[in-house]
Amino acid sequence: MALKILEACINCDMCEPECPNKAISLGAEIYEIDPDKCTECVGFYDAPTCMRVCPIDCIIKDPDHEEDHDTLYAKFVKLVQDNQI
């Protein structure tokens, strides 16, 4: 599943530069994760780097975008092929 940033986000700017898929951007009030680009770092790392660097643990698995490892990897391959990352 893709990840989601909660409203508790303090806009500390830690997560956005760590995202290898460029799925994180500053929204109207807080950072947001594009579920079409989020692979939970599958294809790059063993664990999501945004979750690792978040100082207040406000990044969670998005229950509205459930995906298994194979689906996340297929998304990663497509993003690479489309040169979106």
Q: Taking a C-beta distance cutoff of 8 angstroms, is the pair 6, 58 a contact?
A: yes
Query: Structure pTM?
Result: 0.91
**Domain of 7, in residue numbers:** 3-81
Q: pLDDT tens, 35-50?
A: 999 999 999 999 999 9
Look at residue 85 in the predicted model and tell me its pLDDT: 75
Long-range contacts of 77-81 (CB under 8 A, 24+ apart): 77/43, 79/21, 79/37, 79/39, 80/43
Q: What is the CATH number of the domain that holds 62?
A: 3.30.70.20
Q: pLDDT tens, 52-74?
A: 999 999 999 999 999 999 999 99
Domains in the chain, number: 1
Look at residue 45 in the predicted model and tell me its pLDDT: 97
Look at residue 1 in the predicted model and tell me its pLDDT: 73
Spatial CB neighbours of 62, under 8 Å, sequence gap ≥ 6: 1, 2, 3, 4, 33, 35
